[in-house]
Amino acid sequence: MSKLAIDGGTPVFAAKANVPVWPPADEKTAELLKEIYLSHAWSFYGKHEVAFNEEFAAYTGAASCAMMANGTVTLEVAMQALGIGPGDEVIVPAYTWIATGTAVVVVGATPVVVDIEPDTYCIDPVEVEKAITPKTRAIIPVHLYGSMADMDKIMEIAKKHNLYVIEDCAHAHGSEWAGKHAGTLGDVGSFSFQQSKTIASGEGGACITNDPALGEAMGRISHIGYQYGAVQGKATEPPPMGMISHNYRITEFQAAILRSQLRTLREDTEFRARNAETLRKRLNAIPGIKVQSPGRRVSLQGYYQYAMTLDTAFLKEGITREQFCAALRAEGVGCGPGGWGDLMFRQRLWSVPEELYRVVSYKTAEKIVKEQLITLSLNWLMLSEEETNKVADAFEKVMAEYGR
Give the residues lining the site for ligand PLP (CB under 6 A).
Answer: 70-72, 96-97, 99-100, 142, 168, 170-171, 192, 194, 205
Whether the Cβ atoms of residue 205 and residue 19 lie closer than 8 Å to each other: no
Q: Rounded to the nearest whole angstrom, what is the least distance from the CB of residue 169 to ligand PLP in the complex?
A: 8
- DSSP letter string, 31-88: HHHHHHHHHT--BSS-HHHHHHHHHHHHHHT-SEEEEES-TTHHHHHHHHHTT--TT-
- Secondary structure of residue 12 in the 3-state scheme: coil
Whether the Cβ atoms of residue 12 and residue 389 lie closer than 8 Å to each other: no
Whether the Cβ atoms of residue 163 and residue 319 lie closer than 8 Å to each other: no
In terms of CB distance, is 77 or 276 closer to ligand PLP? 77
Q: Rounded to the nearest whole angstrom, what is the least distance from the CB of residue 368 to ligand PLP in the complex?
A: 15
In terms of CB distance, is 71 or 189 closer to ligand PLP? 71
In terms of CB distance, is 79 or 394 closer to ligand PLP? 79
In terms of CB distance, is 97 or 395 closer to ligand PLP? 97
Q: Rounded to the nearest whole angstrom, what is the least distance from the CB of residue 67 to ligand PLP in the complex?
A: 12
Task: Look up residue 378 and give its amino acid.
Answer: L
Q: Rounded to the nearest whole angstrom, what is the least distance from the CB of residue 26 to ligand PLP in the complex?
A: 22
Q: Rounded to the nearest whole angstrom, what is the least distance from the CB of residue 93 to ligand PLP in the complex?
A: 9
In terms of CB distance, is 147 or 388 closer to ligand PLP? 147
In terms of CB distance, is 11 or 294 closer to ligand PLP? 294
Q: Rounded to the nearest whole angstrom, what is the least distance from the CB of residue 179 to ligand PLP in the complex?
A: 23
Residue nearest to ligand PLP (CB): 71
Ordered strands of the 305-310 beta sheet: 289-291, 305-310, 373-377, 335-336
In terms of CB distance, is 11 or 174 closer to ligand PLP? 174
Length of the chain: 404
Task: Using alpha carbons only, give the angle 19, 23, 27 rounded to the nearest 5 degrees.
Answer: 100
For residue 375, list its beta bridge partners: 307, 336
Q: Rounded to the nearest whole angstrom, what is the least distance from the CB of residue 50 to ligand PLP in the complex?
A: 21
Q: Rounded to the nearest whole angstrom, what is the least distance from the CB of residue 186 to ligand PLP in the complex?
A: 14
Whole-angstrom distance, CA of residue 73 vs CA of residue 123:
21
48 vs 52, 112, 299, 339, CA distance in Å?
A: 6, 38, 30, 32
212, 217, 223, 224: CA torsion to nearest 10: 150
- Secondary structure of residue 254 in the 3-state scheme: helix
In terms of CB distance, is 99 or 399 closer to ligand PLP? 99
